[in-house]
Chains A and B, each alone.
Chain A
């Protein structure tokens, strides 16, 4: 059973860089045809996809966040990370990591982390 767990600071100051890590257990992050994504959800609002990387090493980012986002992988620790620079209060949200898998030719988020709240405040 694949499990994902987010970790990182719960409070980040404005203009600084938000850094989160997702630790994957129950399977290798570097094997199989999977995408590893970050998604966020401001309180009381909907889901926003941030970006993903594929096991081949390619990445896709939300165009609205692309200039500030970096997603990287640490295969030795079976983790992937999110860095979001120049944060403002608008980046306050619950951040989820999730896996996308292809089933019958369709890609969907099949496993999610529990989410971690990040607040941007001085």
Chain B
């Protein structure tokens, strides 16, 4: 049971916009920023969004993040086949004094 809650799956067709939600609580998302990671099949996770809405250099601007209260979202516009991956949200939890992850969302491009 993950501390942060994500839908287990999401899907879309090429060119569509999809969003993935991440729900937490007052000790994690409510007080700290959210990072998003993309994990392509068989590879290590890669930082996609940091600070809730910042993109590292090299990440296409099709990817965007937002946070409101104790929830965060990852949006992917202009969906492409190479976006098919697992996506994880993560945040620092002040009560647990550790990093907590969401359970991950498997994105399928139909």
Q: What class of interface size applies to chain A in its complex with B? A: 20 to 34
Say whether, besides A63-B96, A109-B45, A114-B44, A46 and B102 are in contact (CB < 8 Å). Answer: yes
Alpha-carbon distance between A106 and B33 when the two chains are bound, in angstroms: 7
**Smallest Cβ distance from B39 to chain A, in angstroms?**
8
Q: What secondary structure prevails in chain A residues at the interface with B?
A: strand
* Chain B residues within 8 Å of chain A by Cβ, number: 25
Alpha-carbon distance between A81 and B101 when the two chains are bound, in angstroms: 22
Alpha-carbon distance between A109 and B46 when the two chains are bound, in angstroms: 8
B100 / chain A contacts, CB cutoff of 8 Å: 49
B70 / chain A contacts, CB cutoff of 8 Å: none
A-B contact pairs, 25 of them (CB 8 A): A46-B88, A46-B102, A46-B104, A47-B37, A47-B88, A49-B90, A49-B98, A49-B101, A60-B97, A62-B98, A63-B96, A63-B98, A96-B44, A96-B45, A103-B54, A108-B35, A108-B47, A108-B50, A108-B51, A110-B56, A112-B44, A112-B45, A112-B46, A114-B43, A114-B44
